[in-house]
Chain A
Amino acid sequence: MWLCNSSVGRKVVMSVTGLALVLFLTFHACMNVVAIFSEEGYNMICEFLGSNWYAVAGTAALGALVVIHFVFALILTFQNRKARGQNRYAVTDKPEKVEWASQNMFVLGVIICLGLCLHLYNFWWNMMAAELFHIQGLAHSPADGYAWIAEVFSCPVYFVLYLVWFCAIWFHLTHGIWSGLQTLGLSGKTWFPRIKCISQIWSTLVILMFVAVAVFFFVKSLCCPEAACYSL
């Protein structure tokens, strides 16, 4: 199968799974900002996406995308290190137009995966998993997404960890979006500066939405300090 056997094919798999995850992130970010404006609105979304079959199927599909993206990243990184050869350069000088993110996508990916584990523990486990596996005795109802956000971001340690995570995702996206489109051949002399600009704006907007929610709830917890660090 050329998607596995050829270098361009493997990159197409990275590109398609990556771009699909970008669409998911965009959807996720839009959903999150609702929490800033309306507690009821956000909890309605949480209830709608609870443990219904379509939400579970969607989560499974997303999980599959992440796994495929990560496994192919491992394969590509391994092959690329092999292609580089045994000897490393004694002196290297990075040209200006080479962006830091583009050369550190794998490291950023690992950080993102670690952050994802924390995120699943903080939210998915208490919300979707709690409903699916009928977990009892949690601090809040699984559908009370607003309370879960308020609780997690009231804790300064989580707040900082999430900011670091958002930073890593931002770097990953600034390269990932245009690189994915380039791999699909949707670039050229005219379109290259455009898709670079679009990916910069898109990734910044998405991450700013996530950051806004985190900052909003952290500041809110400082103003009404009764919300303690339950999870730690």
Chain B
Amino acid sequence: MAKNISFTIRYWKQNGPKDAGHFDEREMHDIPDDTSFLEMLDILNEQLIEDGQEPFTFDHDCREGICGMCSLYINGTPHGKTERGATTCQLYMRRFNDGDVITVEPWRSAAFPVIKDCMVDRSAFDKIQAAGGYTTIRTGQAQDANAILIPKEDADEAMDCATCIGCGACVAACKNGSAMLFVSSKVSQLALLPQGKPEAAKRAKAMIAKMDELGFGNCTNTRACEAVCPKNESIANIARLNREYLKAKLAD
């Protein structure tokens, strides 16, 4: 049975990357517990607009867990405590209790500067991807499926790596602000397939170099990233990236 809950929401307000920022607070009353977290924020914004205040800014797009746009740090966890590995848009108010204080913060990392409130600039991920997360080989028309034989396990694992939606929860959770889980997933999705192998060395070096240049931290294997990843990416990917990178550097 659906019930209504009342709680206090503390949300981060910040006008741009240089602003100090602060928390605003608001009492929310009688919110149905089957409301999604983002719908609850829509309700908050409607109330703020009615009161003549500036609405709270946050990122969102598809609201079905596949685009990777939503990025809220809720009560100390990226995307909040969702029912399974899922993003903020799939977090529901039934995960909270009457009288809770819910704290909403942006991804905090030097490489993800705040644009406004809880909307952060994650174009650093696009830059890493553009540095080598693709194949340059001209593939021509779609080939027969059996032209290149790929074992099922490899195809499955590459697919698992490719499900990384680049939301940045790994960076947000990491005490070192490291992007290794993202980069390793993007390197792995190609390194596991024959089509990705010819440029594997070049790719690992270019993407790591870009990651370092953009100010992400050094991975210290705390595993906070895989604990919060909505797509359940594994640090086995990071080991693979280390392997690819070492192989590439030793072959130079």
Contacts and interface: CB of A to CB of B under 8 A. Distances in A.
Contacts of A99: 222-223
Contact of A91 (B21, B76, B226): B76
A182 B238 contact: yes
A17 interface: no
Given A179-B221, A182-B238, A80 B177 contact: yes
Contact of A85 (B76, B177, B209): B177
Chain B interface mostly helix, strand, loop or mixed? mixed
B190 to A, nearest CB: 17
Nearest to A87: B108
A222 interface: no
Interface residues of A, number: 45
A84 B243 contact: no
A108 interface: no
Contact of A80 (B10, B76, B217, B221): B217
A189 interface: yes
B236 A192 contact: yes
B109 interface: yes
B234 A83 contact: no
Contacts of A187: 235-236, 239
Contact of B75 (A2, A11, A91, A96): A91
Contacts of B219: 7, 11, 183
Given A10-B218, A90-B23, A83 B176 contact: yes
B236 A89 contact: no
Contacts of A92: 76
A186 interface: yes
B240 interface: yes
A88 interface: yes
A97 interface: yes
B110 A76 contact: no
Contacts of A178: 221
B238 to A, nearest CB: 7
A83 B228 contact: no
20 contacts: A7-B212, A7-B218, A8-B245, A11-B242, A80-B178, A83-B176, A83-B217, A87-B108, A90-B10, A90-B23, A93-B75, A98-B223, A103-B175, A178-B221, A182-B235, A182-B238, A183-B219, A185-B246, A187-B235, A188-B239
B2 to A, nearest CB: 26
B103 interface: yes
A2 B178 contact: no
Contact of B221 (A83, A93, A182): A182
A187 to B, nearest CB: 4
Given A85-B109, A90-B23, A96-B227, A76 B236 contact: no
A80 B239 contact: no
B32 interface: no
A189 B226 CA distance: 13
B94 to A, nearest CB: 19
Contacts of A143: none
